[in-house]
Amino acid sequence: MPKEKVHVPVVEPKSTSYLEYKELGRIVTPQPVFKKDTVRVRVLQKCLGNPAETFETEKTWEYDVPWPKIDENSEKLYHQEKVVKEKAKVKVGK
């Protein structure tokens, strides 16, 4: 039996006095087969450590965010609630 993987949440770097981050774009791609979202972030990193040699670098970060686990009972209840809500939307014609 394979070991269950423990997910560690990703903490994106923040700007400091010597590094400045500017987000250029973010794409979130859901992957229902693997029950996770893949997040791709384009960032412009500006190095401010030496004022005479300031430079910019474009970086791409990619990480996965797993979907919250739902046990079978709550999933069945969720689908039942969904069906009930759909039945309530039906109008009776006269």
Give the chain's residues under pLDDT 70: 71-94
Is the Cβ–Cβ distance between 26 and 40 less than 8 Å? yes
Is the Cβ–Cβ distance between 38 and 62 less than 8 Å? yes
Q: For residue 57, give the nearest of 46, 65, 68, 70 by alpha carbon.
A: 46
Query: pLDDT of 29-48, one tens digit each?
Result: 999 998 999 999 999 999 99
Check residue 41 and give its pLDDT: 95
